Amino acid sequence: MNAILSLIAVIALILIALLGVKTANLHSLFGIAVPYAAMAIFLIGVISRVLKWGRSPVPFCIPTTCGQQKSLPWIKQSKLDNPSTTSGVIGRMLLEVLLFRSLFSNTAFELRNGPKVAYGSTRWLWLGGLAFHWSFLVVLIRHLRLFTEPVPACLSSLEVLDGFLQIGAPGLLLSGVVLLLAVTYLFLRRVLIPEVRYISLAADYFPLFLILSIALSGIIMRYFTKVDIVGVKALTLGLVSFNAVIPEGISVVFYIHLFLVSALLAYIPFSKIMHLGGVLLSPTRNMPNNSRMERHINPWNYPVHVHTYEEYENDFREKMKSAGIPVEKE
């Protein structure tokens, strides 16, 4: 149900762009106004969301320690999984953000007769997630060729690398294929694994369908219906040099693609996709386990009502004396 609703939402977006450009001829709206608005929402939205998080303090030092602490000099500390220094934390965060280290250690269990609970490593989610994020990044960087003139040499090398199989013309780019496969995998596991299906919200399917449609429309443009890429670049370059133009003859598929990308950009600040910023602010990962060595400060630490020793002794003075426990007041 959640999946179907999300699919309908994405189809609606596609229809809006299709009708808007094809029937209503609103090229400027979909080619200029919407992308600018989306970019603005994206930037302002992300910044304000991060600032909103930042306004709440981190009162306690609560890293999840996943290895040996730093204690006696002859005991080997696990410097990445239980860092006690900033460089350790940076190492831990880099491995987490770039290689998804926590997901790499994922396990699956099985309850057998006996009862016997058996565990094993499972890395499919890790692999799928890694493939998805990295191919998405490569696709994104590749698109910079449409936003730079002259195109920097490094972008050309990336594209050559991405198309190293030299299949067909225009040459097949691996990142696109991997992205498509990875999104499909992420979608399938969401509907096929009962537990994951049970926890999935519409907000989980929507970005998947959105990204799938973006990838598909891009692939259709590049390999099948073709698009006037020179015209497209004139438009995109116009956007980033604040000199927007609408060249003639760009296929509607491009406008659909652009509209879906705009929708994604504008959606990010309000959605779970903010995990890209949130992971960096996660106190269980980005803090060193040094709270016995160095004092952290809780900015809102306030005095509390305590039961003092004096009150305690008043309650029990006679009993303490008879048990031979020293007291302050005889």
Partner 1 sequence: MYKGRKIITGLILFVGLAAIPFFYNSGKTSVKPEPNIDTPAIQQLAEKQCVEPREFMKANHMQLLNDWRDSAVRDGSRIYVNSQGKQFTISLQNTCMHCHSNKAEFCDKCHTYANVKPYCWNCHIAPKENKT
Partner 2 sequence: MSKTPKPDELSKVDYTPPKTGWMDTPAEFKQGMWCYGSKPKNLETLEFPNPRQWSPADEDWKLPENWQEILLNGLKERLDKYRSFKVFMDICVRCGACADKCHFFIGSGDPKNMPVLRAELLRSVYRGNFTTAGKILGKLAGARKLTYSVLKEWWYYFFQCTECRRCSVFCPYGIDTAEITMMARELLNLLGLNTDWISGPAANCYMKGNHLGLEPHTIVGNLEYMLDDIETITGIKIKPSFNRKGAEILFVTPSGDLFADPGTYTAMGYLMLFHELGLDYTWSTYASEGGNFGFFTSNELAKRLNSKIYAEAKRLGVKWILGGECGHMWRVLNQYMDMWNGPADFLLVPKSPVTGTVFENAKSTKMVHIAEFTADLIKHGKLKLDPKRNDHLKVTFHDSCNTARGMGIFEEPRYIIKNVCNHFYEMDEHTIREKTFCCGSGSGLNAGENMELRMRGGLPRANAVKDVVEKYGVNMLANICAIDRAALPAILDYWVPGTGCTGVHELVANALVMKGEKERTTNLRGEPLNGMEGQE
How many residues interact with partner 1 (rule CB under 8 A)? 48
Binding of partner 2 by 314 (CB under 8 A): no
Q: How far is the CB of 297 from partner 1 (least distance, A)?
A: 6
Question: Residues 6 or more apart from 295 whose CB is under 8 A from it?
Answer: none
Q: Build a one-symbol-per-residue string for 22-51: x at contacts with partner 1 by CB under 8 A, - elsewhere.
A: -----------------x--xx--xx--xx
Applying CB under 8 A, which of residues 68, 86, 87, 225 lies at the interface with partner 2?
A: 68
Does 279 sit near partner 1 (CB under 8 A)?
Answer: no
CA distance 256 to 12: 11
- Binding of partner 2 at residue 243 (CB under 8 A)? no
Taking the C-alpha atoms of residue 68 and residue 89, their distance in angstroms, rounded to an integer, is 14
Minimum distance of partner 2 from residue 269's CB (angstroms): 10
Greatest CA span in the chain, whole angstroms? 100
Q: Give the start-end residues of each E strand in 70-201.
A: 107-112, 116-121
For partner 2, the closer CB: 189 or 222: 189
Q: CB-based contacts of 150: which residues, under 8 Å, 6+ apart?
A: none
Asked if residue 304 binds partner 1 (CB under 8 A), the reply is no
Answer yes or no whether residue 74 interacts with partner 2 by CB under 8 A: yes
Q: How far is the CB of 192 from partner 2 (least distance, A)?
A: 12
| 58 scored as a contact of partner 1 (CB under 8 A) | yes
Task: Closer to partner 2 by CB, 22 or 292: give it.
Answer: 292
Question: Strands, E, within the chain: which ranges?
Answer: 107-112, 116-121
CB 238, min distance to partner 1, A: 9
- Residue 155 interacts with partner 1 (CB under 8 A): yes or no: yes
Please choose which of partner 1, partner 2, none residue 224 contacts, taking the beta carbon within 5 to 8 angstroms, the exact cut-off set by kind. Answer: none
Q: Is 101 left (phi over 0), alpha (psi -120 to 50) or beta?
A: alpha
Kindly list the distances between the CA atom of residue 202 and the CA atoms of 65, 160, 194, 270, in Å, as whole numbers in the listed order: 33, 38, 16, 14
